[in-house]
Amino acid sequence: MFRYLKKFEGTMRGFKRLLAQALLAGSCLSILAGAPAAGREPAKARAAMSDEAVRARADALIAQMTPEEKAGQLSQFFYLQPMPPANKPALEALGKGQAGAMLFVTDPAEANRLQKIAVEQTRLKIPLLFGFDVIHGLRTIFPVPLGMAASWDPQLVEQSQAVAAAEARAVGVHWAFAPMLDIARDPRWGRIVEGPGEDPYLGSAMAVAQVKGFQGDYIGAPNRIIAGPKHFAGYGASLGGRDYDEVNLSDNELWNVYLPPFKAAVDAGAGNVMAAYMGLNGVPAAGNHWLLTKVLRETWGFKGFVVSDANGVQSLAAQGLAVDKADAAVRALQAGIDLEMSPPMTPAAMPTLVQSLNEGKITQAQLDDAVRRVLEAKIRMGLFENPYVDPAKAEAVLDDPAHLQLARVAAERSAVLLKNEGGLLPLDRKGIKSIAVIGPLADSARDTLGPWVFPQNKPQGASVLSGLKAKLGPAVRVDYSEGVRMPPRTFPSPMALLDPPQKRAPLDETAEIQRAVGLAKAADVAVLVLGEGQDMIGEAASRASLDLPGRQQELLDAVVATGKPVVVLLMSARPLNLKETQAAAILDIWYPGSAGGEAAANLLFGEANPGGKLPFTWIRDAAHAPNPYAQLISHAPKDADKRYWAGSSAPTWPFGHGLSYTSFKYANLRIERPSYRVGEAVGVSVELSNAGARAGDEVAQLYIHQRSGTSARPVRELKGFQRVSLKPGETRILRFTLKPDDLRYWSAVTGGWVQDEAAFDVWVGGDSKAELAGTFEVRGR
Ligand code: NOJ
């Protein structure tokens, strides 16, 4: 949506002034005072309703609806607080009973005010559905989704999204525009931060966990919301990693790599799917019948509703598919879009369907099918019985201390220890009397939260510096230098339009680097918090370079040159190019969220032991993208690291890499039998030992390679993982099962799924370079 905010950047400044004046005059307070009391009936524990009952109820309503009311149900409007004039199209449509859904309302009183219009003042009293970008929390902010994927802990991911769902539901949100499931193999693409990384197996596990977390056991479960996997599909493969640009994917890549997380989300019962913006193989996703109907509904049996991305319908004309807005609505509906997320400040396109119906361009059944899916979501969510939210109860949910606790655990479990020379980490609390905390991200709560965090929700946040000070107290001297500033973007961050960064006095970076060096020299250890600001990643935040922005590398090199022990805490969601830095320890904490400061302190001092693993391959340089681990073996495999004559093409760290303060050993890989029949499950076991002196977590990863077949298969593919906690000296036998589906793949030769008779290699270990190997073969039925 962010592109569109630019359109009214200027207008918004005016609105803000207006709002401030109105607040002063007390007029807003009187508007808010008109909001209805809490839901008329307390939300009862409801069981899942049968499909038949839901459909019958929706059909009974449809029978009473005019074409205008139907088209209205297919329209979702931005409702931006605090920008009342921007909301004109939304309010006009709502007043006419022609708004089906809103987005961006997260003030419960405001949600109730709008809902009251829908359920009391419109002819059919159909409640509104409120959707929002609940990406990694609402007030309690969890690590960014890529960081959560780095935890390799689906249970934690599920719990975190359940908390996010509870907070969202408490303010009146019914539906999350999440999980984002775009596989991303090109880290120049800024939206890599929102997804599960490069691997379809890990991505599918994250998909299922998030859908369960958001929705609970069924759509409409108490304190849960509808999950909306996005962006369907292929968005992560945009040309050159440039956001919004076109995607060309072979069927092989689509079926084997990009679609599986979506399929997993659909199988887990996701109630919604959001179509992507970009053209997929020449057809914009919102007008792509093959994608939205053939694959999603006919092949996978998806029963929920499909929403366009913001302006995704109307831009079908701009993207050169549709003739005009009315044609765009027809093309979108017929492709499989049910609900149009219309652009801010703009009337929706779906009302033009009334005329298209009259002209015979769409059928009554097409219109009704889409309306039914939207109504069914409202029925399942219980909105006809309980349209309102209780504002009095919201704050207690939002400020539940248990939520912050879980956010801390999540931040600790998502951290990835990339490097730890000489066992520098964990720092010894007793032996350290002074620390120099350095870097532009060290004292920034805002950056610590990451992208997709909205000021209106009063997100909680604490910087690494404050976390360290709180942990260490007065016994340890903590000196701070900002070091350098983040360079400005060449165009404003979309988020900055909603939440402009504070203006600060300019910094003499050369002098500040010298000051930082002085602090490092005078300290026992230097902790540098480096990376990318929260506005340098996310939507409209692609980069052509993976270098540390601005003069951060210079700062790092200068501090390393002091000879003091240096720890780098990386705050980023890409494989940044650290230029062979000599820093002894590097810990990737992503954008760790509300409890990021405390978590970072716990990790540095060993109260938490890092156990996360990379969800992507850490390429050396942006020019190496894409370079996923799961590639086909070439005819020259021995030279796989020599694909560029001027330097190694091997990644800095492989997919799945991550160290611990303890060490792990793998032994005795066993495959139950040497030979299996097609369709049989394969049992694998391995012994994992904690060979160090500390308790710690290891993510044991299982990879396979199929040696021959209908198509050639990647050199390695992840097909199993387990995150386990082991005490020092403890050994455990881990068992994995390779299900028949894990051995199947989509082949361009047959144009469908195949399971070959073939020999397979298996590896189990701590990353995608695992060496402990075994083999089995699969023979005919
Ligand atoms: C556009 C983004 O692509 C999508 O992910 C988001 O959910 C919508 N805007 C609404 O903010």
Instruction: Indicate whether residue 310 lines ligand 1 (CB < 6 A).
Output: yes
Mean pLDDT of 607-624: 98
Query: 700, 706 in Cβ contact below 8 A?
Result: no
Compute the distance from residue 1 Cα to the ligand 1 centre, in Å: 5
Residue 81 clears pLDDT 90, i.e. is over it: no
User: Ligand 1, residues 104, 243, 341: which to mutate, most atoms within 8 A of Cβ?
Assistant: 341
Residue among 133, 54, 18 nearest 539 (CA): 133
Cβ(253) to ligand 1 under 6 A? no
pLDDT at 705 (0 to 100): 98
Q: Which of 5, 102, 132, 274 to mutate to test the pocket of ligand 1 (most atoms within 8 A of CB)?
A: 274
443 Cβ inside 6 Å of ligand 1: no
- Rounded to whole angstroms, the Cα distance separating 305 from 332 reads 13
Q: How confident is the model at residue 442 (pLDDT cuts 50, 70, 90)?
A: very high
Q: How confident is the model at residue 37 (pLDDT cuts 50, 70, 90)?
A: very low
The residue type at 172: G
Count other Cβ atoms within 10 Å, centred on residue 641. 11
The whole-number average pLDDT for the span 208-231 is 98
Higher pLDDT, 586 or 639: 586
pLDDT at residue number 13:
42
- Report the pLDDT value the prediction gives residue 678, as an integer from 0 to 100: 96
Share of the chain above pLDDT 90, in %: 90
Catalytic residue flag (residue 309):
yes
Confidence of residue 10 (pLDDT cuts 50, 70, 90): very low
DSSP per-residue string spanning 291-354: IIIIIIIIIT---SEEEPPTTTTTHHHHTTSSSSHHHHHHHHHHHT--BEEPPTTS--SGGGHH
Q: With a cut of 70, say whether residue 8 has pLDDT above it.
A: no
- The predicted structure's pLDDT at residue 702: 99
309 Cα: distance to centroid of ligand 1 (angstroms): 6
> If you search the block for the tokens 């539940």, which residue do you land on?
400
Interval 443-463 mean pLDDT: 96
Structure tokens at 298: 């006919």
Neighbour order of strands in the sheet with 75-78: 226-227, 175-176, 129-132, 101-103, 75-78, 340-341
Residues belonging to the chain: 781
What pTM was computed for the model?
0.94
| Average pLDDT of span 4-18 | 40
Q: In Å, what is the CA distance from 536 to each residue of 186, 243, 451? A: 16, 13, 9
What are 300's two structure tokens? 């996978």
Question: 408 falls in which pLDDT band (50, 70, 90)?
Answer: very high
Which residue of 309, 453, 454 sits with most ligand 1 atoms within 8 Å of its CB, as the best mutation to test the pocket? 309
pLDDT for the residue 46 = 58
Q: Rounded to the nearest whole angstrom, what is the distance from the C-alpha of residue 573 to the centroid of ligand 1?
A: 19
For the chain, the average pLDDT equals 93
Q: Is the CB of 1 under 6 A from ligand 1?
A: yes
Residue 197: predicted pLDDT: 98
Q: What is the tens place of the pLDDT at every residue in 718-759?
A: 999 999 999 999 999 999 999 999 999 999 999 999 999 999
Mean pLDDT of 690-708: 98
Nearest Cα residue to atom 8 of ligand 1: 1
Of 153, 182, 199, 309, catalytic: 309
Nearest CA to ligand 1 atom 9: 1
Is the CB–ligand 1 distance for residue 191 below 6 Å?
Answer: no
Q: Which residue out of 104, 133, 313, 454 has the highest number of ligand 1 atoms within 8 Å of its CB and is therefore the one to mutate?
A: 133
Task: Determine which helix (DSSP H) or strand (DSSP E) holds 650, and give its type and residue range.
Answer: none
Query: What's the rounded Cα separation, in Å, for the pair 651 and 627?
Result: 8
| pLDDT band of 345, cuts 50, 70, 90 | confident
> Is the CB of residue 177 below 6 angstroms from any atom belonging to ligand 1?
yes
| Mean of pLDDT values over 584-608 | 98
- Cα→Cα distances 525→481, 522, 559, 585, 607, Å: 14, 9, 10, 11, 18
Which range has the worst mean pLDDT, 84-93, 227-236, 325-334?
84-93
How many angstroms does the Cα of residue 101 sit away from the middle of ligand 1? 15
Among 419-423, 489-493, 566-570, the least confident range: 489-493
**Among all chains, which residue has been given the structure tokens 């209908």?**
710
Closest atom of ligand 1 to 103 CA is: 10
Distance 178 CA to ligand 1 centre (A): 9
Cα-to-centroid distance, 132 and ligand 1 (Å):
9
Q: What is the pLDDT of residue 373?
A: 98
What is the average per-residue pLDDT within 585-596? 98
Residue ID of nearest Cα to ligand 1 atom 1: 1
Does residue 21 register a pLDDT over 50? no
* Shortest-distance Cα residue to atom 11 of ligand 1: 1
Position 31 confidence tier, pLDDT thresholds 50, 70, 90? very low
436 CA → ligand 1 middle, Å:
39
| pLDDT at 25 (0 to 100) | 28
Average pLDDT, stretch 640-662?
96
Ligand 1 centre from 312 Cα, in Å? 10
Q: Is 243 in the pocket of ligand 1 (CB under 6 A)?
A: no
Strands (DSSP E) contained in 656-770 are 664-671, 675-677, 682-690, 696-706, 717-726, 731-738, 745-747, 752-754, 758-765
Q: Is the pLDDT of residue 761 over 80?
A: yes
Residue 684 pLDDT greater than 60, yes or no: yes
Residue in 632, 779, 760, 630 with CA at minimum distance from that of residue 706 = 760
Task: Take residue 66 and report the two structure tokens written for it.
Answer: 């005019």
Residue 14 has pLDDT above 70, yes or no: no
Indicate which residue's Cα is closest to atom 7 of ligand 1: 177
Mean pLDDT of 470-476: 96
C-alpha closest to that of 585 among 546, 529, 532, 540: 529
